[in-house]
Amino acid sequence: MKSHQTRNGSSLRYGFGWQACRRCSPHPTASPFDKLRAAGARWGTLWQEVVRLCQCPDDLVTIKSVEEEEMVRLNKQYRQKDKPTNVLTFSYGEGEHDVAICLAVARREAIERKIGIKEYAIILVTHAFLHAAGLDHEASVTEAQTMMELEEKIIQAQGLLSDHR
């Protein structure tokens, strides 16, 4: 696991494989997408941009790669949806958040969108970080629009594709 010290002294933990994610099963998993490890250096930068734009606390965020079966379990347990999803964010109200990303789902979606898996993982993590900052696109049309605009702004600032949807 890697750690990034933020300006305010909190840490961002990230990596692929087993992390101390509270909601995820405590079983080590290996990522078949080694090139995504290189994206890890951007996680801290992405989080700092979310903190700046949303004016939210510089909390601790843990990112974990999970297998598709684990993502189905999490999605069913916490969202009552019996299917895999690309990313889930868990906020604990204690200044800590977990992000679970399913690289198998992300890879399929990246292929459908004709973008690289590394770039798409950055898009998904940006989305998850905005949830950790307190935004919820399912709460209202206005909040969905705000979240979409912030995603675009952050993704473009990272030099990635605009209009990634």
If DSSP codes are grouped into helix, strand and coil, which group holds residue 65? Answer: strand
C-alpha dihedral, 158 to 159 to 163 to 165, nearest 10°: -60
Write down the H helix ranges in 89-137: 103-113, 117-132
Residue 147 lies in a domain: yes
Residue 164 lies in a domain: no
- 133 has a pLDDT exceeding 80: yes
Residue 156 pLDDT grade (very low, low, confident, very high; cuts 50, 70, 90): confident
Number of C-beta neighbours around residue 55 at 10 A: 8
Q: What is the CATH number of the domain that holds 81?
A: 3.40.390.30
Residues of the domain holding 66: 2-157
The pLDDT, as a whole number, for residue 63 is: 87
| Two tokens, residue 67 | 């297998």
Q: What is the pLDDT of residues 59-113, one digit of tens each?
A: 888 888 899 999 999 999 999 999 999 999 998 888 888 999 999 999 999 999 9
Residue 38 lies in a domain: yes
Residue 70 lies in a domain: yes
Residue 131 lies in a domain: yes
Residue 163 lies in a domain: no
Residue 145 lies in a domain: yes
- CA quadruple 83, 117, 18, 56: dihedral sign: negative
Number of separate domains in the chain: 1
Residue 165 lies in a domain: no
pTM, full prediction: 0.75
